[in-house]
Each structure stands twice: as C-alpha cells, then as structure tokens.
Chains A and B, each alone.
Chain A
Amino acid sequence: MTAVSPIGISTAGAEALAQRRNRALAKFLANPSALFGTVLVLTFVVLAVFASWIAPYEPNKTNFLMLRKAPSAMHWLGTDEIGRDILSRLIHGGIASLYAGVVSVFIALFVGMPIGLVAGWFGGWLDALISRATDALLAVPFLILAIAFAAALGPSLTNAMIAIGLSQVPIFVRLTRGQVLAVKTEDFVEGARAVGVPNSLILLRHITPNIFAPLVVQATLTVATAIIAEASLSFLGLGQQPPAASWGSMLNTAKNYMDSAPWMSISPGIAIMLVVLGFNLLGDGLRDALDPREQ
C-alpha cells in the first residue's frame, strides 16, 4: 500500500514529482536556445545588479563639452544631448527595465492567481462573475489598458509597473482558473476532499504545486511583454521620469536627434531586443521542458 502523509500527498506521488522535475531539468539543459536565453537574461541581471561598478561614468553626470559626441574610445556608445555617457545610462537603464518587468509580473501573479484559484475551485456564480470581469478587462488591448491605468495613476516608474501589472492580471486569472478546472477532478484532490481537508489547505498544498509549472512559463513570457510595455510607456513619457535612465525614455529623447546623433537611437533598442529575446527563449524552453505532453 502507498504511504500517505497527513496532508494527503503519497510518498510515491512525491517521488514521481521529483522524477518529473529531474526530467524537465535535463530537457531544459539539453535545449541550446533555452540556454542561450538564460545566458542573455543572466548577463543583463549581472549588468543591472553591478551597474554602479561596471558603468564607466555616473549615468546622470552631464558634460557640456561633450554634447552628442559619436562613439569613441572614451565613450564607447557616444554621448547624449547633454553630454551623458550612453553606455553608462544603458547599463543603469537595465535596472529600470528588469525591475519593472519582474515586479509587474509579480503584481499580476499575486493578484491574478488567488482570484483564478477561487474562480476555478468554487465555480458557480462567483466563477461566472470573475470570468465576465476577466473578459471585460481582456476586451481592452493590453497597452491601451496600461496607458489608461498609467494616466490614472500619474507618470512614474512605480505607477507604470502597477499599470502593467494590473493590465496583466486577467491573463493569470484565466490561466489559473483553467488549470484548477483541469486538476480539481484528479484523484488526489478528490481524496483530500473525502478525508475532510479544508478548502484553503487543498488549494495551497494540492492544487497550487500542480498548476505552478504553466504559471511559471507564462510569468517568464510575461516578463518579456512587460519589459516592452515599460519601454513603451517610458517612450511615451508615462514611465521612468528624467533624469533617471530607462531604455524607453532614452529612445524617446533619441528620436529628436536622429539627424545629428543617430547613435543615440541604436543601443537602447538593441538592449531591449536582447533582453526580451532572452526572456522569450527562456520561457519557450521552460514550456518545452515542463509540458507533460512533451515528456
């Protein structure tokens, strides 16, 4: 007979879970594009964490003798309209982008997941109400919703993160709800219910661990979307405010100097593209590794 722990997880089940995890890890490590994505993301994380040590200059330090200078040995990526070093601003700008990407996804996950759990588990009128509200929010294109929220909250990086996070909530509600519906009829959940485990404990200990994989995949892919959204809001002037560096706001300024300082437009876009590509590859790799059908 299979041993059962007091909360209802059989030891055989735990072993199967561990085996599945090892298989997923092996599959992920054997996927070159997923590894490339991981390296890209880690590179940007390291650059952002150690920005103050790595950046050659102070990002906001102006130098009126070096206005709009082309790339040189002194300033590898050139200088901007008030003589600031573009490379240093690029490195520091990564902090805003990664921070915004990750925090907004956490907001979306921690608001969306509990709502989705409740909708999927309890069903009935509560599910109908939550589902219709989700549909209503999904009825407004993501960026327009984020712009509307950012307009309501006022332009700042924190508000942009909240706006992006709130705009992503319905995606996580819908995903969580769907996953709960798939898992709630499984034997181990029925078993836990039959022995009288309270709802909150079933949701926390039995449902959540079993639906976490698709949520992690979605979260990783959403970080990519959120980074582009933050750059877009900053580009429109609704995100990071000057003089603080952000890739989107750097591009917003750069578009006014395309004739005289074209180098200002190149590097921030490449940085956004690379980090977004990194998260997309990482997310795709995680999906391939964690998808039970692929195993």
Chain B
Amino acid sequence: MWSLILRRLAVAVPTLFLVMVFVFILQRMLPGDPLLVMAGEERDPAVLETLRKLYGFDRPVPVQFFIWLREVASGNFGSSLRTGAPVTELIAQTLPVTIQLAVASLLIALAIGIPTGVLAAVKKGTWLDYVANAISLSGLSIPNFWLGIILILFVSVNLRWLPASGFVSVFDDPLEAFRTTIMPAFVLGSGLAATLMRHTRSAMLEVLRLDYVRTARAKGLLESKVILKHALRNALVPIVTLSTLLFGQLLAGAVLTEQVFTIPGFGKLIVDAVFNRDYGVVQGVVLCTAIAFILMNLVADVLYIVINPRLRTA
C-alpha cells in the first residue's frame, strides 16, 4: 500500500512542476505588458525601468521562471496588478464564500444523485429507470447559468420567495444564509447530481450481479439490507475516484453560478480579474486551482487505495 501511495506522490511532483511551467507560459502569452498597467497613465520610462528591475523582468526568461518558482514555493502567488493586494489574500477572502456554496451543492447532489442512481439500478428497465435517466440526461444538458436565470425568474421575480442575489455567511445568520444559498446551490448541485446518478447506477449494476450479493439474497436477508448494506457500500468505492471530477465540475460551475447570483466568491474573482485585465490574479487563481486539484487527486487516489482491500494488501 505504501509503495503505491509513494508512487502516486512521485507522479504528482512532476505534474505540479509542469503546471507551473504551463502557468508561466500562459502568463507570457497574455497580451500587453503588465508593467504598463502598473506604470499608470504617464508610462514614465524611468518608472518602467525601475519596475522592470524590481520584478526581475530584465533577467533571462529561465531565470525569471526560477525566481517565480521560488516565490510560489514560499507561498507568494503574486499580487493584483490593480490593487496591489496579494493573490493569497484575495483567495482567502473569496474561498470561504465558494466553499459554503460548494458544500451546499454537494449535499444536494448527494441527496439527489445517489438514491436516484440506486433506484434506477434496482429498477433497471422499468419506467422508473427511464425517468431517472431522462432527468439525469437533462441535468447534464441544461447549462447551469440558464437554470439559475430561470429560477430567479420564477422563484425570486414572480413568487418573491427567495432573494435573487447576494451572500450571507452561515456563521453570521444561518437562516438568511440558507435563503441566499439554497437556490445557487441547487443550480450548481443539479449538474453534479446528474453525474453522480449516472455513475452510481452503473456501479450498482456492476455490483448487483456479483456472487456475494446473490449469496446475501440466498441467505434470506431483506432486500433493502442487501442493497444498502451489501451492494451500495461496495458500489460507492469507485465513486470516490469521482471526487476530483466533481471538484472540477464544482469549481467551473461556481464561476457561472456566482456570476448569475452575484455571489462574491472564487469564481467571480477570476471573471472580474479577466475583465479588469488583472493577469496577476488570473495566474494566481489558475495556479491555486491546479494545486488544489492535484492534491485532491492525490487524496482521492490514496483514499481509494485505503478503502479498497485488494489494493491495501498490494
């Protein structure tokens, strides 16, 4: 088991290095000189020269890359070219907002996706299976930003039940937090629910035809016990590997959902940075996302090894 975990770690390190190379190249590809933005309207050549020296832009590109690498390693992800605020500070401000939204979405997705997937697998070939499949396919086909607009239209504009925008932290006012988060969380969670449902269904179908399930039935166990205790428990193992996919889907979905519901989160940070041409923030956010993603992948891999008895003894 430990050798497998070490092997996964050994793969994660070069991947991380390549992500950094890639983010550095992306930064070089960006149109316009970032120093021109920093130098202000006058663009005084002396100021430009000082800035160029200060940020090490006068050095050869490979040297610049390693200087930047050293900075990142020490936790400095750069700063906003507009406000000068460190990217880590901006992320620290916006991430809790997105985490609240993501956790709520994930709960909704789990509550819808797993029972529907189990039901579709158990009732395979019946109208219940067809309905569940149709709903999941629709969930994958509806753009979540449009679902958000439609919900705002009906729930907020017509019925006036929930606020159309804004954010309240669950630690400040739990009730108001529920009212502001439930709609965007549903929007973000519906796509995830569809993905989860599809995977749960196929994992359950695989497990349900295995011998030990037949043995459990032959022993005369209750069908609900066979499904929930014997089949679902094992079917959930491969779903762990989905966590990185879901994480990616959550982050990407959050970009659009936060835009529709005007939520000041991580997703809105990157979109605003793109429009303000604040490349320092774009670069920092992309790098942070990639690092988080690689770590998630690593955790999922390790978790998969730990919970899978066959790999545990390997």
Interface residues of A (CB under 8 A from B): 132-133, 135-137, 139-145, 147-154, 224, 228, 231-232, 235-238, 251, 254-255, 258-259, 262, 265-266, 268-269, 272-274, 276-277, 280-281
| A34 CB to nearest B CB, Å | 12
Contact (A238, B157) CB under 8 Å given A135-B15, A228-B143: no
Count residues of chain B with CB under 8 A from any CB of chain A: 50
Identify B282's interface contact among A132, A151, A251, CB under 8 A: A151
Q: B286 to A136, Cβ gap below 8 A?
A: no
Cross-chain pairs A/B with CB under 8 angstroms, 12 sampled: A140-B289, A140-B290, A143-B255, A147-B255, A149-B26, A150-B274, A232-B145, A251-B146, A262-B153, A265-B146, A276-B142, A280-B137
Identify A148's interface contact among B31, B149, B282, CB under 8 A: B282
> Complex formed: what's the CA distance from A150 to B282 in Å?
12
B30 / chain A contacts, CB cutoff of 8 Å:
151-152
Q: B143 to A232, Cβ gap below 8 A?
A: yes
Q: B256 to A144, Cβ gap below 8 A?
A: no
Q: B18 to A277, Cβ gap below 8 A?
A: no
Q: B143 to A269, Cβ gap below 8 A?
A: yes
Q: Which of B106-114, B209-217, B246-254, B305-313 lies at the interface with chain A?
A: B246-254
Number of A-B contacts (CB under 8 A): 131
Q: B14 to A132, Cβ gap below 8 A?
A: yes
Q: A152 to B26, Cβ gap below 8 A?
A: yes
Q: A262 to B157, Cβ gap below 8 A?
A: yes
Q: Which of B137, B145, B247 has the largest count of A CB atoms less than 10 A from its CB?
A: B145
Interface residues of B (CB under 8 A from A): 11, 14-16, 18-19, 21-22, 26, 29-31, 137-138, 140-143, 145-147, 149-150, 152-153, 157, 164, 247-249, 251-253, 255-256, 259-260, 270-271, 274-275, 279, 282, 285-286, 289-290, 293-294, 297
A sample of 19 more A-B contacts (CB under 8 A), given A269-B146, A276-B140, A276-B143, is: A132-B18, A133-B18, A135-B18, A139-B294, A141-B248, A141-B293, A142-B248, A143-B252, A144-B286, A147-B255, A148-B282, A151-B274, A152-B29, A153-B29, A231-B143, A232-B143, A232-B145, A255-B260, A258-B152
> Complex formed: what's the CA distance from A236 to B144 in Å?
13
